[in-house]
């Protein structure tokens, strides 16, 4: 068994749905379970409609109605009744919001759930019409059970047993389940969502819980690339990465799966394949366990950069060797809910990086009581993700590249996770650094 997940842009209209059916047909032998997002930008449209009802008291579902009605008309699908029932329910919900002028997180989840509930019904009807044995399921019918943390719900442990209990008999019966991503229900039977982009997690959860062979996440890019293609023209897909590397890449700005979505598969070792639905023949990127991935790749997997970073230099004004200094520094940042990205320390000083978005006035005031503080904006983090067993070689080559183009490195840190070497340069020089590193670690193929 495999799990195949298609995001909103992969199922944006009738022609994209036809295309998805062709992809799925290639895999029927491997007994797929499909997980779908809402069609196109439906989730955003639903949230917009909710806000309009809340703020202006208007009920407006034209956008959502048009896309879904046109799709069923275009594909001549016999689901008019089901779709109309859902759209009516949506209208009534919006009228309620317009009337009481209240949109709680709980109602928001109910509101966005219409996107995925519509998409699976339409997709399953289409697959049936071309003689595939498809059946639509709301995820709670196949074991998605969560807490009540609306808009950011976490799946409960019980889901690990409930999901295979429901899915496996379907697979044995040669059914092609088409399941709503993103959604679950809580103890009270209320609809919840797993956070924006959550259908990746729905797919990896089914795959891990059912011990599937693999989960395929179909996107509109050729998998994970060696660098941002807007910076490096020669960027190419990475064929294999480990779960840890993929998580680092996601944190440092690459367009991959959210680290949360990888968790279930990381636990069970289920490989995650990122494929391009617009370029089926491209091999994509396989995310898997370290041993399997390590054998197959060069020391560096990818180079990323994160822009608009602030560097804070903090030098203790107290005695050398005083304990508790770092604790004080970090507790001040924690007090103001500021998340720190990179840290480098010496006996009396600490340098750290933050998003530029934070207002540091108060933090600076407090820090100044124990240290001299310098805040430098306009920096970037360049990260090299790869096999840090070879860190000396990687660092040597990286510094040499920076030296050659005359860019000073301002701070260095090697994550304990051993897959990430990061350094700080001026934001204006970051693109040049990424290009130089890419040229060194991924020389042009001819
Ligand atoms: N439709 C939801 C969203 O747009 C979930 C997803 O696409 O993964 O966030
Ligand atoms: Mg979406």
In order, the DSSP letters of 246-272 are HHHHHHTT-SS--HHHHHHHHHHT--E
**SS3 assignment, position 441:** helix
d(CA 123, CA 77): 9
Is the Cβ–Cβ distance between 228 and 304 less than 8 Å? yes
Closest ligand 1 atom to 44 CA:
4
pLDDT at residue number 416: 66
The alpha-carbon radius of gyration of the chain (Å, integer) is 25
Give the atom of ligand 1 at the shortest distance from the alpha carbon of 7. Answer: 7
Ligand 2 centroid to residue 38 C-alpha, Å: 5
- State the Cα–Cα distance between residues 64 and 61, nearest whole angstrom: 5
Specify burial of residue 272 (Cβ count, 10 A radius: 0-12, 13-18, 19+): buried
The 3-state DSSP class for residue 167 equals helix
Q: Count how many Cα atoms sit within 13 Å of the Cα of residue 262 in the half-sphere of its side chain.
A: 25
Ligand 1 atom 5: the closest Cα is on which residue? 197
Which ligand 1 atom minimizes the distance to the CA of 198?
8
296-300, 377-381, 382-386, 411-415: least confident range: 296-300
Instruction: State which of 115, 197, 257, 260 you would mutate to test the pocket of ligand 1, scoring each by most atoms of that ligand within 8 A of its C-beta.
Output: 197
Candidates 6, 108, 112: which one to mutate for ligand 1, based on the most atoms within 8 Å of Cβ? 112
Q: In angstroms, what is the span from residue 364 Cα to ligand 1's centroid? A: 38
**Residue 323: its pLDDT value, please?**
78
Tell me how far the alpha carbon of residue 45 is from its chain's centroid: 20
Please name the residue whose Cα sits nearest to atom 8 of ligand 1.
197
Query: Please, are residues 68 and 115 in contact by the beta-carbon 8 Å criterion?
Result: no
Q: Higher-confidence residue: 145 or 326?
A: 145
- Average of per-residue pLDDT across 245-272: 84
Pocket of ligand 1 (CB under 6 A): 7-8, 37-38, 43, 115, 181-182, 196-199
Q: What is the pLDDT of residues 338-370, one digit of tens each?
A: 999 889 988 788 999 998 888 999 999 999 998
Ligand minimally distant from the alpha carbon of residue 36: 1
Q: Looking at ligand 1, which atom is closest to the CA of residue 38?
A: 1
Q: Which pLDDT belongs to residue 245?
A: 84
**pLDDT per residue as tens digits for the range 170-209:** 999 999 999 999 999 999 999 999 999 999 999 999 999 9
Q: Is the pLDDT of residue 269 over 70?
A: yes
Closest residue (by CA) to atom 6 of ligand 1?
A: 197
The confidence score (pLDDT) of residue 348 equals 82
Compute CA 410 distance to the chain's CA centroid, rounded to the nearest angstrom.
Answer: 30
Ligand 1 centre to CA of 116 (Å) is 8
Which of 52-56, 97-101, 320-324 shows the lowest mean pLDDT across its residues?
Answer: 320-324
**CA 40–ligand 1 middle distance (angstroms):** 9
* Three-state SS letters, 279-315: CCCCCCEEEECHHHHHCCCCCEEEEEEEEEEEEEEEE
């Amino acid at each position: 068994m495999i799990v195949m997940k298609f995001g909103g842009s992969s199922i944006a209209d009738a022609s994209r749905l036809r295309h998805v059916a062709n992809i799925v047909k290639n895999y029927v032998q491997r007994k797929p379970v499909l997980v779908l997002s809402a069609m196109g930008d439906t989730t955003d449209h639903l949230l917009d409609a909710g806000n309009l009802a809340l703020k202006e008291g208007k009920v407006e579902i034209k956008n959502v109605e048009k896309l879904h009605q046109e799709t069923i008309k275009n594909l001549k699908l016999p689901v008019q009744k089901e779709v109309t029932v859902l759209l009516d329910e949506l209208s009534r919900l919006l009228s309620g919001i317009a009337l009481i002028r209240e949109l709680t997180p709980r109602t928001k989840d109910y509101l966005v759930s219409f996107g995925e509930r519509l998409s699976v019904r339409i997709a399953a009807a289409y697959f049936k019409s071309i003689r595939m044995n498809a059946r639509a399921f709301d995820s709670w019918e196949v074991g998605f059970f969560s807490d009540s943390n609306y808009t950011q719900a976490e799946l409960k442990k019980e889901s690990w047993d409930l999901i295979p209990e429901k899915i496996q008999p379907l697979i044995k019966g040669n059914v092609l389940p088409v399941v709503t991503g993103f959604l679950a229900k809580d103890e009270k039977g209320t609809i919840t969502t797993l956070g924006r982009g959550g259908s990746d997690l729905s797919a990896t959860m089914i795959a891990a819980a059912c011990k599937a062979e693999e989960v395929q996440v179909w996107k509109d890019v050729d998998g994970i690339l060696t660098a941002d293609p807007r910076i490096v023209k020669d960027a190419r897909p990475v064929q294999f990465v480990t779960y840890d590397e993929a998580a680092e890449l996601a944190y440092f700005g690459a367009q991959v799966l959210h680290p949360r979505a990888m968790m279930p598969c990381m636990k069970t070792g289920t490989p995650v394949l990122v494929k391009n639905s617009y370029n089926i023949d491209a091999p994509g990127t396989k995310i898997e366990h370290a041993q399997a991935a390590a054998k197959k790749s060069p020391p560096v997997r990818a180079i990323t950069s994160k822009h608009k970073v602030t560097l804070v230099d903090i030098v203790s004004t107290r005695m050398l060797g005083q304990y508790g200094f770092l604790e004080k520094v970090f507790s001040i940042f924690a007090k103001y809910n500021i998340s720190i990205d990179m840290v480098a320390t010496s006996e009396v000083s600490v340098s750290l990086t933050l998003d530029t978005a934070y207002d540091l006035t108060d933090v600076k005031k407090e820090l100044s009581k124990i240290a001299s503080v310098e805040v430098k904006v306009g920096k970037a983090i360049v990260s090299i993700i790869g096999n840090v067993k070879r860190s000396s070689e990687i660092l040597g080559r990286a510094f040499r590249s920076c030296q050659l183009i005359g860019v000073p490195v301002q701070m260095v840190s090697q994550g304990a996770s051993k897959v990430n070497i990061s350094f700080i340069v001026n934001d204006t020089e970051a693109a040049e650094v990424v290009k130089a590193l890419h040229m060194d670690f991924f020389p042009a193929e001819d």
